[in-house]
């Protein structure tokens, strides 16, 4: 069984939290002192082939906290399945985690939030109309999405950023299915609807996390201004090239958060 395999390699000690790494943000996995397991060995862990993602589960110590880092994530656009991350998130809960921090690369709709910025997600807009719980047969599928991005986690991450002198923006993330980028007209639409950043992940995972009773938080690393808002040509190459700009800030915030976690009984 997947769980037995993970425990036999990484030890049975429970993990405190999960961390899902976005495009071009995989190098945080290198900071974990632990054991890496290829997704190919884990049943139900779709190991798609999005470049810039490392398809490994890494369990070990990160800045003083025992974590499970998901070096790669599956996206809806890879296989048409919005529940592509269902098994990994369920497994995370079974490994003992009660919270998950998601990271992603995103386009910005706010001129005051240029590439290289980091944004804490306060809420989201599911612009895709898809849902990873479609087909779930139990009444548990009616998940409450108020405060889906856990207020206590957001407060602690905000505090970590302030302490580390990192300017952490707050905003609403819109999920667009991808894999094509948005049109400028679509960007004007979601901007009007109240979104601050746009990307192709995170929303289905947060829905699944809440379904499994995990507390969730998400941080976007802004890699570009959204379509039509600047002269740059959008591409995945561009996303990967720009991710390191904000990745160092992300890492600093996470370090501050993880280093204080053990002293925070409420977290």
Catalytic residue among 10, 46, 53, 251: 53
- In angstroms, how far is the first alpha carbon of the chain from the final one? 30
Whole-angstrom Cα distance, residue 65 to residue 14? 11
Q: For ligand HPA, which is the closer residue by CB, 122 or 182?
A: 182
Task: Please give the C-alpha separations between residue 77 and each of 38, 162, 200, 250, in angstroms, as whole numbers.
Answer: 21, 35, 8, 25
Annotated active-site residue 170? The verdict is no
24 lies in the binding site for ligand HPA (CB under 6 A)? no
How many CA atoms does the CB half-sphere of 170 hold within 13 Å? 11
Annotated active-site residue 224? The verdict is yes
The correct pick among 58, 106, 153, 267 for binding ligand HPA (CB under 6 A) is 106
Q: How many C-beta atoms surround the C-beta of residue 30 within 10 A?
A: 11
**Spatial contact of 113 and 196, defined as CB atoms under 8 Å apart:** yes
Residue 106 CB, nearest approach to ligand HPA (Å) = 5
149 lies in the binding site for ligand HPA (CB under 6 A)? no
Stretch that binds ligand HPA, among 70-78, 125-133, 137-145, 193-201 (CB under 6 A): 193-201
Annotated active-site residue 200? The verdict is yes
Residue 176 CB, nearest approach to ligand HPA (Å) = 6
The correct pick among 54, 74, 224, 252 for binding ligand HPA (CB under 6 A) is 224
250 lies in the binding site for ligand HPA (CB under 6 A)? no
The catalytic site residues sit at 23, 53, 75, 77-78, 105, 200-201, 224, 236
């Amino acid at each position: 069984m997947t769980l037995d395999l993970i425990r036999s390699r990484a030890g049975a000690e429970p993990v405190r939290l999960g961390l899902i790494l976005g495009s071009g943000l995989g190098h945080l996995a290198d900071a974990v002192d632990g054991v890496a397991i290829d997704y190919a060995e884990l049943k139900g862990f779709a190991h798609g082939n999005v470049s810039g993602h490392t398809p490994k589960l890494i369990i070990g110590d990160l800045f003083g906290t025992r974590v499970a880092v998901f070096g790669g994530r599956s996206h809806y656009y890879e296989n048409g399945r919005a529940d592509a991350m269902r098994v990994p998130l369920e497994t995370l809960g079974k490994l003992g985690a009660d919270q998950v921090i998601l990271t992603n690369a995103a386009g910005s709709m706010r001129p005051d939030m240029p590439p290289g910025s980091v944004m804490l997600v306060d809420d989201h807009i599911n612009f895709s109309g898809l849902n990873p719980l479609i087909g779930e047969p139990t009444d548990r599928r009616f998940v409450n999405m108020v405060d889906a991005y856990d207020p206590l986690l957001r407060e602690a991450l905000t505090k970590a950023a302030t302490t580390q002198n990192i300017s952490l923006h707050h905003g609403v993330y819109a999920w667009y299915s991808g894999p094509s980028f948005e049109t400028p007209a679509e960007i004007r639409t979601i901007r009007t609807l109240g979104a601050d950043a746009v990307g192709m992940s995170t929303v289905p995972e947060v829905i699944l996390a809440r379904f499994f009773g995990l507390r969730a938080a998400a941080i976007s690393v802004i890699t570009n201004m959204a379509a039509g808002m600047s002269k740059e040509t959008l591409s995945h190459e561009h996303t990967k090239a720009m991710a390191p700009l904000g990745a160092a800030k992300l890492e600093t915030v996470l370090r501050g958060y993880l280093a204080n976690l053990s002293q925070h009984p409420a977290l």
